[in-house]
Structure 1
Amino acid sequence: MASVDQPSVTYAPVGCTRTGVVPDGFDELRRSRRIGSGRADFERAADALLTWQMHRRAEIAVMASHARVETGAVANLRLGVGRPGLRAPVRVVDVVDEPTRRGFAYGTLPGHPESGEESFVVELGETGDVTLAITAVSRPASRLARLAGQVGRRVQSRITGRYLSALADDER
């Protein structure tokens, strides 16, 4: 049971981005991009991902409970500045730490405009290509997000594109 300090995620089932099972009523977004080549690029991208730098490079402010991503870490993400900025609290629900795959997934917490899970995984392929794959499973949670409809989906897609660019080899 979650305490006041540890609110529950706002969706089920946790782990849906890893299993690929999209809950009824949720939309799925999957995108990937080649971001480099070789072990050094893989390590650099994984480190930037796991220290919240990808988000910051994509112009998302991050106030995280831990400097490095770990299961259970909480982050308050913010798009924009000041009062009109969009607040998006999340909790890390999964960490991938394999020799050629690293990343994490976070789930939305109360106050996030969406309900769902998003994963970010950097992979070093057999050919040496380094790719970033992003999967989001979500639905509107706030009144504003519901009213935004397809405009909200386009904003989500644009932010995903910024994440992909943030780790690309030409963006370092």
Structure 2
Amino acid sequence: MASTPPTGPPFTYEDVGATREDLCPPGFHRLHVRTRIGEGEAVFRRASEAVLTWEMHRAVGVGIATAADRVAPDVEVTVRIGPVRAPCRVVWTAEEPRRTGWAYGTLPGHPECGEESFVVDRTGDGTVWLTVTAFSRPAKWYARAGGPATRGLQNAYAHRCGTVLRRICAELED
């Protein structure tokens, strides 16, 4: 059964959904940051809820503008960091017994071009992890001018997501 394409603006890159398989298309910079959040089912459930409801993102300190209380495919969201506005659309979601997460892709007006995913998983030993994976390249002049500093900020943001999520879940550790 074919899915209905989104009615909003087109994505600014071709490999929509590539983060689901942890793929990085040629010509993009890859980001992969994995942070240990804690242990146990309660931590997994709490971390999953924080990721699926934008709570983690808001706790990181970025502005989140969306009409949706929860992530879902085709939901549009604008991330705001200071004066920078970054429009995105959710590409995919996953809610499985040991893996929860989602990814969004860039829309016209975003300073970067690419996709970023936020996945919480619980390994066989009960450890809960947040993995932030992305592929991107500059789309605006100021992102290009930032060069390695822009990638450094992306890396710091991914690490901050893990730190904040660990703090959100800290009281639930088994």
In 2: Cα distance, 1:40 partner to 1:116 partner? 33
Give, in angstroms, the shift of residue 20 of structure 1: 2.9
TM-score calculated relative to the size of structure 1: 0.92
Residue 134 (str. 1) matches residue 136 (str. 2): no
Alpha-carbon contact 1:165-1:171 (below 8 Å) kept: no
List aligned pairs for 1:1-172, cutoff 5 A: 3=7, 6-80=8-82, 85-169=83-167
Alpha-carbon contact 2:38-2:166 (below 8 Å) kept: yes
TM-score calculated relative to the size of structure 2: 0.91
Q: Secondary structure at the match of 1:44?
A: helix
In 1: Cα distance, 2:120 partner to 2:168 partner? 16
Task: Tell which deviates more after alignment, 15-24 or 151-160.
Answer: 15-24
Task: Give a deviation string over 1:112-166, Cα, whole Å, max 9, x none.
Answer: 1000000010001111110001101000011110111011111111111111111
Alpha-carbon contact 1:116-1:139 (below 8 Å) kept: yes
Alpha-carbon contact 2:38-2:169 (below 8 Å) kept: no
Q: Which amino acid aligns with 1:157?
A: N
Q: Secondary structure at the match of 1:49?
A: helix
When the two chains are superposed, the root-mean-square deviation of aligned CA atoms in Å is 1.4
Unaligned stretches of 5+ residues in structure 1: none
C-alpha change, 1:171 and 1:40, in structure 2 (3 Å) is closer
C-alpha change, 1:171 and 1:101, in structure 2 (3 Å) is closer
Task: Give a deviation string over 1:17-41, Cα, whole Å, max 9, x none.
Answer: 1223321210101010110111101
Give, in angstroms, the shift of residue 170 of structure 1: 6.7
Q: Which amino acid aligns with 2:80?
A: R
Alpha-carbon contact 2:75-2:90 (below 8 Å) kept: yes
Alpha-carbon contact 1:17-1:118 (below 8 Å) kept: yes
In 1: Cα distance, 2:149 partner to 2:66 partner? 28
In 1: Cα distance, 2:136 partner to 2:86 partner? 13
Alpha-carbon contact 1:41-1:169 (below 8 Å) kept: no
Q: Secondary structure at the match of 2:163?
A: helix
In 2: Cα distance, 1:12 partner to 1:41 partner? 35
